[in-house]
Structure 1
Amino acid sequence: MVQALDAAAVRRWADACVRSLDSQREAIDRINVYPVPDGDTGTNLLHTMRSALDALMRAPAEASSSVGPAVAAMARGALAGARGNSGVIVSQVLRGLAEVLQGTSTASGAGLRRALRRADELATAAVAEPAVGTVLTVLHAAADAAADSASDELDDVVTSAAGAAATALAETTRQLAALARAGVVDAGGRGLVVLLDALAAVVTGREEPRAERIADAVLPRTQESLTTGREGGSAEYDYEVMYLLDGVEESVEGLRGALGALGDCVSVVGDGAELWTVHVHCNDIGAAIEAGIRTGRPHRITVARFADQIAAQAARFVSERVVVALVRGAGAAELFRGEGAVALDLCAAGDVTEADLLAVISGTRASQVIVLPGDTELVDLAEEARRQAMEAGQDVLVVPTSSPVQSLAALAVHDPGRRADDDAVAMAEAAAATRRGELTVSGREALTWVGRCQPGDLLGLLDGEVVLIEAGPADADDVSDAACRLVDRMLGGGGELVTALLGGDAPDGLAETLEQHLRASHPGVELTAYVGGQPDALLLFGVE
């Protein structure tokens, strides 16, 4: 049991929030009927908390030793990545916690009690017209229960808050007509209960999935619920506009007033420092953005049309999860397609940009995509495409494979039945456990760990470092000999399976030569060879 909340516990909590929201995202999306039935609250909350966790992992060292800086990093990340009303509210919850815990290395039950009250105040202030039966009602109940807790022990305060939130969540069905018609609880409120339950689990060591139990009792969404009238905000406004704002030199009250004249559901909230997030429902998109320009520097602008959201959610995705692999060579592309992946042949595609990869990702029409770059130089490109796809509503993860053989190892353990995060972790572990080798021809003079190479020399690389140089030009026998020496070097550290991808310029009979060599020198090792057709390497090895 955690006696005082410290930075390590905050990291576990952030990770638990992302995992729990990932597992419950679809369930929360299905019950999202208020204020509009757009079916994205779970997705928005997951995106927001992933941004919070990412910011925490990238925060300065101070955030790894003190609870205040750790929660502050989460608050900044959540604000920068906030999606929808629910994301904005969660960012303010985290900001409230951070404000109270600022300058503290650990947080007691009494400190958390005050932090929850401040979170309640800021979240309520972020909503122009707070309504009973929403996430704000659930948060207020949690803050009240924490304040009324008879004990200052951290576990007592946390469990009191989480328990009261779950009880308040169950009551939301009868507090809003839209929820009553659909027979569901408030989606944002359920998301908040997930976050509080995750905190209680970290502090107490006990799992108490209250939100899941409540969800089992609600009715599925009906067609009537999908067309429920918008009770928060006017139906005359067709668009949701959101953006981040910095460089603000004057009060944001003028911006709030300008947005209020354009539409409703206005929120302009900050991180307590220099960054603000702006949200409004309106018809004049340009005017909403121009109001931001007059106040500061808008960026990361997103626009959604309410009338499109339900149809888009229903029609956009036709599969749950797909793996996208970046490869070079027709043979390698065909190999990965045969294993069930979507393969992008970089040789056929030419100079691939983030936009090209984004088109492939969105073209899969899968709600979840795992990308295997297959080259260290392509990881950044994959990450940028991932970021853009996430902003467009698609869940994308990048497994940083450094070679096609590592991508094959990752694909071999891919299991669409697992949760996406767990599947990506298993694939990353399989890739990392695969030693990679490469036999190629040097294109220039260079100084390596084993001496100087000249253009045309035959190079053997192990995990990216040159370990073998054969003076060029090399004939078929030289290539075969170097390949056998390289695989022996790789098997010196152990291994049971060797995977070989033959390049477009590999000599005839190379696979047979390797098989004979391994049968004689390593009889317990299995070789699997494929024609990859890659133009940049004669041979690629993977040893597992």
Structure 2
Amino acid sequence: MPQSPDALDAVAVRTWCSLALEALGREREAIDAINVYPVADGDTGTNLYLTVESAAAAVEAVFEAHATGSTVPAPADAVRAMAHGALIGARGNSGTILAQLLRGMAGVLAEAGDADHLRTALAEAAAAARLAVAHPVEGTVLTVATAAAEAAGGTEAGAGLTAVLDAACEGARAALAATPGQLAVLGRAGVVDAGGQGLVTVLGALLEAVGGQAPPRTPQPAPDTLPRTGDCAPEGPDDGPAFEVIYLLEARDEAVGRLRSRLDALGDSLVVVGGDGLWNVHVHVDDAGAAVEAGVEAGRPYRIRITHFAADRVRARREPAQRAVVVVVPGDGLSVLCTEAGATTVLARPGEPPASGELVDAIRRAHAREVVLLPNDADLRHTAAAAAEQARAEGVRVALVPTRAAVQGIAALAVHEPDRSFDEDVVAMTAAAGATRYAELAVAERQSWTMAGICQAGDILGLIDGDVAVIGEEVPGTARTVLDRMLSAGGELVTLVLGEDVPDALADALREHVREGHPAVDTVVYRGGHQAAPLLIGVE
């Protein structure tokens, strides 16, 4: 067995992340199965795994950037990368708290990684996590983190890293075993806290990275022997907030203070972690749009993820669901719309297309045997295909419907019927998308040649099926011309998706324009929120 180091170095941090990811991979399903608090949605193990996966990737990036022969990154760079990676990749309630725990530890371990600093790091981490949670509850991961810190703090002066970590792990395991007696929902289910179980696993990986030997693990029952979360939860499927909202936020500290108060009034399970201008926000609410708007008022939210709990609670009672739809959307307004329709959404911010890993994450979050993936962007076809292939390798049946625009995705989602056969459903959704012509309005950034002629910077461009077909001077006139050209080939339904700054009056005017020229054509209007295009148009 290798000799225990006197201080946590960059290699040990890298090994810690690798071992934690490996251990959570082994225990993910078992942790998911005991997830009954705060919501019995059966994904705590998965969320912790994805959070640590992001932390590990950030540490690997530091090592790759530092590839200069035999030298390695400074320990401070490694621990800061770990904390930053966890912050930007945090998933769910427990993943967000774990990110804050790692951030709290990193703030101290960046100074030095010896035993004394480790004691302080564990204490700072536990305190920071409690501050991040709006209403801390005992019998959760917070209790386990505090017990680990207290046990480490009680070790003798002069104790080495391994001794301090061994005490921390023992304290965490004892606290975890006591959680069913502290939180009634755990006691009724006969399980320990899922987030606390995950933290014990992560601390055990740190002990193994430092001491060279894994700590004793509590035997994990097979997932099929564990109680199903939906049967354990005290609430019915319609109790509690309807949505989980998570996003990264660039904002000043004083704005985040106001945001906490606003979100606390909107819902529960509020956790806001981070600092130095970057925050990860997690909350359970009934009004997902209001939660996102609160973030907009505070700063710049992005990587917005909205999960519909009603669907998750049904899945928790009959894991996994038979079929789900994963859809990429260009704005938060459409994200709420599609989530309310039962889809799992991935938000594509302007200039920030989702990576294949984000799509795979969404497929995993859907908790379904069969998934229909709607990329809604021609440029995402290869990314979506790679994500579908990876999900298939994990045992999920995935069909990729090649939607090239959000309005095609809306049309496909409208005909989705989970009760019919998978193939029939995919064919119907593909047909609906293919029968929908799509257009968008954009603002020209510079003078350039287009298929419609030369445009100048500031011109309004009308793109039909991806090609510039109209060049105009203002949005209303360009939109009317685009609609006339699209409807000249016929149509039954016009879909308008308005950007954040587009007034409702424009939608009213365009609806009237369609009615005058094509009385038999219906028009529906949606608010897209923060999207790159001021207007998206679909004609079915």
Aligning the two structures, in what range does the TM-score lie when normalised by the shorter sequence? Answer: 0.5 to 0.7
Q: Could you say what secondary structure the match of 2:272 adopts?
A: strand
Specify which of 4, 8, 15 is matched with residue 2 of structure 1. Answer: 4
> Hey, what does 1:199 align to over in structure 2?
206
Where does residue 28 of structure 2 map in the other structure?
A: 25
Cα distance in 2 for residues equivalent to 1:209 and 1:288: 42
Q: Tell me, which stretches of 5 or more residues in structure 2 are unaligned?
A: 324-353, 372-379, 397-540
Aligned counterpart in structure 1 of residue 45 of structure 2, from 42, 47, 55: 42
Instruction: Tell me how far apart the structure 2 counterparts of residues 396 and 273 of structure 1 sit (CA, whole Å).
Output: 40
| Residue 147, structure 1, aligned to residue 153, structure 2 | yes
Contact 1:38 1:310 in 2 (8 A): yes
Distance 1:85 1:108 in 2: 30
1:61 aligns with 2:69: no
- Asked whether the equivalents of residues 252 and 299 of structure 2 are also in contact (C-alpha less than 8 Å), the reply is yes
Instruction: Find out whether 1:71 has 2:75 as its counterpart.
Output: no
> Is 1:208 matched with 2:215?
yes
Mapped partners of 1:303, 1:224: distance in 2: 21
Matched, 1:296 2:299: yes
Cα deviation per residue 1:99-152 (whole Å; 9 max; x = unaligned)? 112244xx1111111110110111111111111111111110000011001143
What is aligned with 1:263?
267
Deviation at 1:73, TM superposition (A): 0.5
2:223 maps to 1:220:
no
CA distance in 1, matches of 2:50, 2:104: 20
Aligned length in residues: 345
Q: Following TM superposition, by how much is the alpha carbon of 1:362 offset from its aligned partner in structure 2, in angstroms?
A: 5.5
- Alpha-carbon distance in 2 for matches of 1:38, 1:393: 23
Q: How does 1:339-418 map to 2 (within 5 A)?
A: none
Task: State the AA in 2 paired with 1:263.
Answer: G
Q: What is the CA–CA distance in structure 1 between the aligned matches of 2:388 and 2:223, rounded to whole Å?
A: 37
The equivalences for 1:48-447 within 5 A come to 48-59=51-62, 60-61=65-66, 64-104=72-112, 107-150=113-156, 151-210=158-217, 212-213=218-219, 220-222=226-228, 225-229=231-235, 235-248=239-252, 250-270=254-274, 272-312=275-315, 314=318, 316=320
**C-alpha deviation, 1:253, in angstroms:** 0.8
Encode CA deviations 1:211-251: one digit per residue, 9 max, x unaligned.
Answer: x3366899721577443239xxx944211111111154743
Say yes or no: does 1:12 pair with 2:20: no
DSSP-derived class of the 1:269 partner = strand
Task: Output the aligned Cα RMSD.
Answer: 3.8
Distance 1:86 1:268 in 2: 12
Task: Give the direction of change, closer, same or farther, for the CA distance of 1:248–1:72 in structure 2 (3 Å limit).
Answer: same
How far apart, CA to CA, are the structure 2 residues paired with 1:315 and 1:214?
A: 19
Distance across 1 between alignment mates of 2:126 and 2:355: 40
How far apart are residue 35 of structure 1 and its match? 1.4
One-letter amino acid matched to 1:278: V
Aligned identity (percent) is 44
CA contact (8 A) 1:249 1:295 kept: no
CA distance in 2, matches of 1:280, 1:56: 28
TM-score, length basis structure 1: 0.57
> Given residue 97 of structure 1, which amino acid in structure 2 is its aligned partner?
M
Residues 159, 88 of structure 1: alpha-carbon distance in 2 compared, 3 angstrom cutoff: same
Q: Which whole-Å deviations, capped at 9, do the CAs of 1:26-81 have from their partners, x for residues lacking one?
A: 00000001112110000000000000011111125399432222111011111111
* Distance verdict in 2 for CA 1:388–1:260, change over 3 Å: farther
User: CA-to-partner distance for each residue in 1:136-171, whole Å, 9 max, x for gaps?
Assistant: 111100000110011431110010001111111111
Deviations 1:432-472 (Å, cap 9, x if unpaired)?
A: xxxxxxxxxxxxxxxxxxxxxxxxxxxxxxxxxxxxxxxxx
User: Helix, strand or coil for the counterpart of 1:301?
Assistant: strand
Q: Distance in 2 between matches of 1:236 and 1:86?
A: 18
Given the superposition, is the C-alpha separation of residues 217 and 85 from structure 1 closer, same or farther in structure 2, using an over 3 Å criterion? closer
- Structure 1 letter corresponding to 2:233: T
Separation of aligned partners in 2, 1:102 and 1:20: 25
- Give the structure with higher Rg (CA): 1
CA distance in 1: counterparts of 2:199 and 2:50, whole angstroms: 14
For residues 38 and 222 of structure 1, what CA distance do their matches in structure 2 show? Answer: 10
Partner Cα distance (2:181, 2:20) in 1 = 27
**What's the CA shift for 1:273?**
2.1
